[in-house]
Homo-oligomer: A and B are copies of this chain.
Amino acid sequence: MKLYDFPPAPNPRRVNIFIAEKNIEIERVLIDFSAGEHRTDEYKAKNPACDVPMLETADGVYISQIRGITRYLEEQFPATPLLGRNAAEKGVVEMWEHLAFINGMLAVAEVFRNTGKGFVGRAVVGPHNYEQSSELASRGAARILNFFQDFNQQLASNEYIAGDHYSMADITTLVTCDFAKWVKADIPEDCAHLRRWYETVSARPAVLSNP
């Protein structure tokens, strides 16, 4: 089993924390984003979506997208479940992980990819080229603020994002909060619950070992 990885980027970090929490040993293959190694013909033949991370199973199946990789690993290594322990929890974890992704990660990415000089003409992850949009960058900044408030609200009555148990929803939310710092957005002072939670999850060994 091999993970095609680029540790400095936020999406690989989500999977790396997940793997560390589960204590799985996986060989890494470095795909240097900044050198464009995710867009070579060789890599595209394995992963047409041209993104990182991507998992190659022992049977030679290529699985990209964080949902695909984490689902496969959860099934293969069910100890330390991170996608829920029963049907209702599994549903609720997927719900919150999706909300963290779409309202958090994507909002930060809207700012990052539509303002960064390194992404001129490549504003969307993947093999196709799209121009940057200043309208989308502005909207992303507004969405980040709502994301902080909404998740603070959820943590007002829950220890973790999806309830009383640490899960993949926490990992995506934590990585979003750190990714937001790249675009100069930080958890607001008035989000006390989110700040309390952030301190707790940031201190986990799996998070500390994947900064």
Is A67 located at the chain interface by the 8 A CB criterion? yes
Contact with B along A148-171 (1 / 0, CB 8 A): 001001100000000000000000
A residues 6-63 near B (Cβ < 8 Å) are: 48-49, 55, 57, 59, 61, 63
The residues of B that contact A153 with a CB separation of less than 8 Å are 48
Does A184 make an interface contact (CB < 8 A)?
no
- Could you say which of B71, B76, B135, B143 contacts A136, with CB atoms under 8 Å apart? B135
Asked if A92 is an interface residue, CB under 8 A from chain B, the answer is yes
Q: Are B88 and A67 in contact (CB under 8 A)?
A: no
Count of identical protomers in the assembly? 2
Stretch at the interface among A125-133, A187-195, A200-208: A125-133
Flag if B67 contacts A87 (CB, 8 Å). no
**Restricting to A59-107, which residues have a CB under 8 Å from any CB of B?**
59, 61, 63-65, 67-69, 71-72, 75-76, 84, 86-88, 90-99, 103
Q: Could you list 18 A-B pairs, sorted by A, with CB under 8 Å?
A: A48-B150, A49-B99, A55-B91, A65-B94, A65-B95, A65-B98, A67-B95, A67-B98, A68-B92, A68-B93, A68-B98, A76-B87, A103-B126, A124-B143, A127-B150, A130-B139, A133-B133, A134-B135
**Given A65-B98, A124-B143, 15 more pairs with CB closer than 8 A:** A48-B153, A57-B88, A61-B88, A63-B91, A63-B92, A65-B95, A65-B99, A67-B67, A71-B90, A72-B88, A103-B126, A123-B139, A128-B146, A133-B136, A136-B139
